[in-house]
Structure 1
Amino acid sequence: MHDNSIPCLVHRAANLFPDRTAILSGEQKLTFVELEKQVQLLADYFAEIGIRPGEVVQLALPNTLTLILSLLGLMRTGAIVSPINPKFPDRQQNRVRLATGAAWLVGESANNHQQISENMIRQALLNRSTPRYGTTPTPAAFSPLIPCSLILTSGSTGLPKAAALGYRQHYCSASGANALIPLGEGDRNLLSLPVFHIGGFSILFRCLMAGATVVLSQHNGLFEDIDRLGISHVSLVAVQLGRLLDQGAPHSLKHLLIGGGPVSCTLLDRARKAGLHCWHTYGLTEMCSQVYTHSPDGHGHLLTHRQLKLNQANEILVKGDTLFQGYLTDNGQLDLPLDNDGWFATGDLGIMQGDRLDITGRKDNQFISGGENIQPEEIEYFINRMEGVKRSLVVPQPDRTYGFRPVVFIEAEQAV
């Protein structure tokens, strides 16, 4: 994209698909026109209580209609949304708030004047009937240069980093995903991943762009939600796919996106035999979700707006229109660690075989055994391709002679 501004997807969808269902949450249903109205009403409310453009607002809510409306309304005011896991204990939430510099908190309850509860948001919508366009920034477009979200990376140690993403990154991410995986009128995409995860956040943007329906889980169980709600699209991790297959494949499913780590060949074969169209994807928060996706026929596809290559050490490097704007530092600045040619080193290791990208591990998981570098995921990759293996885990075991030796744990399809 080369325009100076990025169209607001809510406003665009209200014009293109006014009467289509935008969000389905239990008995509640919003068309795109109704969604546009409620987003603007909340943007007016947030501006009235003092939330200003550029301020960080932490959202500690589960996947609810209130969360989605708040997130979209806050972005329209020019605020930077920072969704976090609502199950974090108060101490952890405070650590994240201090690290991101959040001036406001949206949560289940409110204890001071800069905290906004779910009930306050519901009351704000009940007390307002007419959006006041002009009191908040125009909904027609967003600047491509300003961050609109801070998404926590899945750090394995310490406090996760906050990756800053702008509306441009979210827009281009959705555009590339929808160009590969069909999504449109009549489709229902289950919000099966939390919005504080980039995978869940991206579902909202893909549906807004395509005019498809976001369906909120009713927590009856994954299979029951998919089957009863007529879900056509869902994003899962390997463990969820296994549980779904154990219960049977719902007939309504058209496309199933699998991410979040490696998937065994046995599991993918089970899915194919069950008639599921599985798209196995590699992505990361810093690239606003998907980067490289394998279609149901096994071929690999680099999504548009992205670039990818492997260096001599087989580390995956990425760049493109979906690349994040940087990590938020302690002094409130953004740090974007790139090499001289503008590539971001992911820390992930992989191999390219034709058009297939296979992830073989993480640089920081490597250990030394008898002077040799051992990559646990590389061993797991070959074990997981064996017939009857559901998944495997390789860990370093201390050894007097070798320093460490690899030990493997295997979960088989059947008891051995």
Structure 2
Amino acid sequence: MNFSLLEIFKRKSHLPLLVGDRPFTYSEVWEESRKTAYQFQEMGISKKDRVGLLIEQNENSLFHMLGLLMIGATPALISPKSSTSERAYFTQTAGLKTILKPETLKVEKLTPIENIETGIILFTSGSTGNPKALELSFDNLYYSAKGSIDFYKIGKEDKYLLNLPLNHIGGLMVFIRCLISGAQCILSQEDSILKHRPSIYSLVPAQLIRLLKNKELSSILKDSKAIIIGGDRLPEKYFDKTLPISLTYGLSESTAQVAASIPGTKEMKILPHREVLIRDNGQIGIKGTTKFKNYLIDGKKTSSDSIYWTQDIGTLKDGRLEVLGRLDDCFICGGENMVPAEIEKAFLNIDKIERVKVVPIRNEEYGHIPVAFYQADELVEDLKIKLKRYLPVYKIPKHIFKLEDHDIKWPKNKLIELAQRKIDVVTY
């Protein structure tokens, strides 16, 4: 096993690792985690148990996660915002022994801990159905982090802002990269950027856009080493060459990043320890040491092929990856191929529009037609006229609706249902 918690903590015992309400060195994180490990043993949790953990954005949650790993249990990271029905589903599909609530565990007595790390369970976003429980091995975590560390040259002099949820692969890997590289992991608080001036950020586009609206924070971002942007397409108008923006492509099944651009550029290169394949239809496949271990269904491990075929389409040339869209999003409109990602990219060139989603709606004459939803602070006028600068007329959606923030994050099938209802109202 290449990734040993014990060896990592021994090797970096006096360095600062975690900065939350106060700084914690590696040795302090280790001791706090051992205390929670003992408490878990007293609760009857043992090695090979799968245990749900409602993980919050604080140091105690990280101590709980590490404590479970120390006794050989497998933590399944769950959002504390999840509903009762979601937790019941997670318990059933991943075969969880219990779900631990986020509360501080204070234990003084210590006992020898059997350090048999197993892995971590995450639940995918479920954009096309119920979330899937996937198991990541320690090799997955180690080699994913190592490839990112080597690419961005992350070291003990760096401060890395943890501003993404820990129950998502993006947030989890920020902590793992810090753990392996020696960089300080800065838990995001209201004044974290002003107080600590991180050198590395991992953000989704919406977070970057909010930061850029603040002149003081925007100025601090320019002095950083890398601003890693993933999870969604960054509108072209926000790509500022004076900022060290690194565009990235990844997914939970690849243990986060697959490819990324050198900060300040747009061409994405395949990162170390990853392999990418492209089928004739453009479908992207991933393999290598960062490909996830297996899915869990009804608590049982499923078999996993050596290649995981994503639902994304793209091109690969000379080690450079371009992601064009989703295979399951493409549709035919009046005999013409429609790629929603292409239409969405055109929308994002227009001022004030921050997010957009295009879905297909059945139509008697054309088979399907594109319908667009967008988010902006205010209604954007003359959108169809503005889109003619970027799209042929037949690709411009006939129906365009402005939505509130929460709506556009709905699963595709829910947006299609909403689009149909809105079209019916317009038609009527």
TM-score range for the pair, normalised by the shorter chain length: 0.7 to 0.9
Of 310-319 and 244-253, the range deviating more from structure 2: 244-253
Give the equivalent residue in structure 2 for 1:359: 323
| Counterpart secondary structure, 1:159 | coil
Identify if the C-alpha distance between structure 1 residues 57 and 398 changes in structure 2 by more than 3 Å, giving closer, same or farther.
Answer: same
Contact 1:393/1:408, CA 8 A, preserved across alignment? yes
Q: Is 1:321 equivalent to 2:267 in the alignment?
A: no
Equivalences for residues 209-220 of structure 1 within 5 A: 209-218=180-189, 220=190
Q: Residue in 2 aligned with 1:7?
A: 3
2:363 aligned partner: 399
Distance 1:74 1:395 in 2: 42
2:55 corresponds to: 61
Q: Is the 8 A contact 1:314 1:349 kept in 2?
A: yes
Question: Whole-Å Cα distance in 1 between the matches of residues 33 and 40 of structure 2?
Answer: 10
| Partner residue, 2:133 | 162
- CA deviations 1:293-315 (Å, max 9, x no partner) are 11123342211111002110101
Structure 1 residue 173 corresponds to structure 2 residue 144: yes
Q: CA deviation at 1:389?
A: 6.6
Aligned counterpart in structure 2 of residue 21 of structure 1, from 16, 27, 30 = 16
Q: How does 1:1-400 map to 2 (within 5 A)?
A: 5-9=1-5, 11-26=6-21, 28-108=22-102, 118-119=103-104, 121=105, 123-124=106-107, 127-128=108-109, 131-133=110-112, 136-138=113-115, 142=117, 147-218=118-189, 220=190, 224-248=191-215, 249-251=218-220, 253-269=224-240, 272=241, 275-296=242-263, 297-330=265-298, 332-338=299-305, 342-352=306-316, 355-382=319-346, 384=348, 390-400=354-364
Percent of paired sites with the same residue = 31
Between the aligned partners of 1:399 and 1:266, the Cα distance in structure 2 is: 33
Kindly tell me the number of residue pairs found equivalent between the two proteins. 375
Quick check: 2:47–2:72 contact (8 Å CA) kept in 1?
yes
2:239 alignment partner, SS class: helix
Residue by residue over 1:158-197, the C-alpha shift from the partner in whole angstroms, topping out at 9 and shown as x without a partner, is 4200011111110111101100012222322121111110
Q: Which piece of structure 1 moves more, 50-59 or 404-413?
A: 404-413
Letter in 1 for 2:245: C
State the distance in 1 between where 2:80 and 2:376 align: 34
Task: Say whether the 8 Å CA contact 1:368–1:403 is kept in structure 2.
Answer: yes
Q: State the superposition RMSD in angstroms.
A: 2.4
C-alpha separation between the residues in 2 aligned to 1:43 and 1:412? Answer: 46
Displacement of 1:230 in angstroms is 2.1
3-state SS of paired residue (1:256): strand
SS of alignment partner, residue 213 of structure 2: helix
Deviates more, 1:316-325 or 1:349-358: 349-358
Unaligned runs of 5+ in 1: 109-117
TM-fit CA distance, 1:384: 4.0
TM-score, structure 1 as length reference: 0.83
Aligned-pair CA distance for 1:216: 1.4
Deviation at 1:409, TM superposition (A): 5.1
Does the aligned pair in 2 maintain the 1:266–1:388 contact within 8 Å?
A: no
Deviation at 1:82, TM superposition (A): 0.4
Q: In the TM superposition, what whole-angstrom CA distance separates every residue of 1:10-51 from its partner, at most 9, and x where no partner exists?
A: x3343333222111112x221111112222232233223321
Q: Deviations over 1:87-130 (max 9, x none)?
A: 1122221221222111122114xxxxxxxxx14x1x22xx23xx
Conservation of the 8 A alpha-carbon contact between 1:63 and 1:216:
yes
Separation in 1 of the partners of 2:76 and 2:100?
Answer: 10
Query: Judging changes above 3 Å, is the alpha-carbon distance between structure 1 residues 392 and 87 closer, same or farther for their aligned structure 2 residues?
Result: closer
Query: Deviation digits for residues 356-415 of structure 1, max 9, x if unmatched?
Result: 422222222223322444221133235546788755432324433112212345668996
Paired letter, 2:321? L
Structure 2 Cα separation of the partners of residues 387 and 356 of structure 1: 29
Q: Calculate the TM-score normalised by the size of structure 2.
A: 0.81
**Cα gap change, 1:386 to 1:312, in 2 (>3 Å):** farther
Alpha carbons 1:299, 1:355 under 8 Å: kept: no
Q: Matched residues in 2 for 1:395 and 1:49: separation?
A: 48
Q: How far apart are residue 250 of structure 1 and its match?
A: 4.3
Q: Which residue of 2 aligns with 1:115?
A: none
Question: Contact 1:63–1:195 (CA<8 Å) still a contact in 2?
Answer: yes
| Unaligned residue ranges in structure 2 (runs of 5+) | 382-428
Conservation of the 8 A alpha-carbon contact between 1:316 and 1:349: yes
Q: Would the aligned equivalents of 1:293 and 1:303 in 2 still touch at CA under 8 Å?
A: yes
- Listed one character per residue, the Cα deviations across residues 323-361 of structure 1 (whole Å, up to 9, x for unaligned) are 11111012x3222443xxx32101111133655422222
Q: Which moved more, 1:372-381 or 1:315-324?
A: 372-381
